[in-house]
Structure 1
Amino acid sequence: MHKLKNYINDNFYILFLSMFIPLFAIATVVFMIKLATYTAVIQLNILDMTKLFLFVLPEILFYTLPITFFTAATLTLFRLSTDNEMVVLFSLGIHPKFILKILLKPAITLSLLLAFNFLVLIPHAKTLSSNFISYKKSEAKFNLSASEFGHSFGSWLLYIGADNQDETYSDVILFNKNIEEEIIISANRAEIINNAGILRLKLIDGEGYSYSKEKFSQISFDTMFINDTMTTDLSVYKTPLEYWLSDERKDKKKHKMITNTLLSIFPILSLYLVASIGIAHVRHQKARLYLYLFIDIVIYYGTTLWLQKALGYYTIPAVSLTWLIVTYAIYKKTILARF
Structure 2
Amino acid sequence: MKLRQYLFNQLALTFFPIFLGLYFITSIIFLVKIASLTSVITINFFELIKLYGFMMPSIIFYTLPVSFFISVAITLSKLSNEYELIVVTSFGLNPLKILKIFLPITIFISLSLMVVSLGLIPKTKYEREVFMDKKQTEANFNIKASEFGQNLGKWLIFIERKDEKFYHNVKLFKTQNNQDQFIIAKNATLNNDEGELSFKLFEGKSFHIQDEEFNQIDYSNMTIFNNIRNNHSGYTFIDSYNYWKHYLLDDDSETQKFAYYILLSLFPLLSLLIAVNYGYYNPRYEKSKAVQWCAFYIVIYYSLISFLTKQVYLHSLYIIPVLWISWSYFLYTRSVKKQY
- Could you give the per-residue CA deviations for residues 42-83 of structure 1, whole angstroms, max 9, x where no partner exists? 222222222221111111110100000001111111111111
Segments of 5+ residues of structure 2 without an aligned counterpart are: 208-215
Q: Percent identity?
A: 32
Aligned to 2:168: 171
Are the aligned partners of 2:247 and 2:255 in contact in 1 as well (CA < 8 Å)?
no
Change in 2 beyond 3 A, CA 1:274/1:216: closer
Aligned to 2:50: 51
Rounded to whole Å, the distance in 2 between the matches of 1:315 and 1:218 is 62
**TM-score where L is the length of structure 1:** 0.84
Q: How do 1:23-172 residues align onto structure 2 when only pairs under 5 Å count?
A: 23-147=22-146, 149=148, 152-153=151-152, 158-163=157-162, 167-172=164-169
Segments of 5+ residues of structure 1 without an aligned counterpart are: none
Aligned to 1:15: 14
Change in 2 beyond 3 A, CA 1:85/1:159: same
Aligned to 1:237: 237
Aligned to 1:283: 284
Are the aligned partners of 2:190 and 2:198 in contact in 1 as well (CA < 8 Å)?
yes
Aligned residues: 326
Are the aligned partners of 1:62 and 1:114 in contact in 2 as well (CA < 8 Å)?
yes
Change in 2 beyond 3 A, CA 1:234/1:227: farther
Change in 2 beyond 3 A, CA 1:316/1:124: same
**TM-score where L is the length of structure 2:** 0.84
- Could you give the per-residue CA deviations for residues 267-302 of structure 1, whole angstroms, max 9, x where no partner exists? 111111111011111111122222111111111111
Change in 2 beyond 3 A, CA 1:104/1:142: same
Change in 2 beyond 3 A, CA 1:182/1:53: closer
Aligned to 2:212: none
Query: Which amino acid counterpart does residue 318 of structure 1 have in structure 2?
Result: I
Change in 2 beyond 3 A, CA 1:157/1:285: closer
What is the alpha-carbon root mean square deviation over aligned residues? Answer: 3.2
Are the aligned partners of 2:273 and 2:332 in contact in 1 as well (CA < 8 Å)?
yes
Are the aligned partners of 1:197 and 1:234 in contact in 2 as well (CA < 8 Å)?
no
Are the aligned partners of 1:82 and 1:282 in contact in 2 as well (CA < 8 Å)?
yes
Shift of residue 322 of structure 1? 1.1
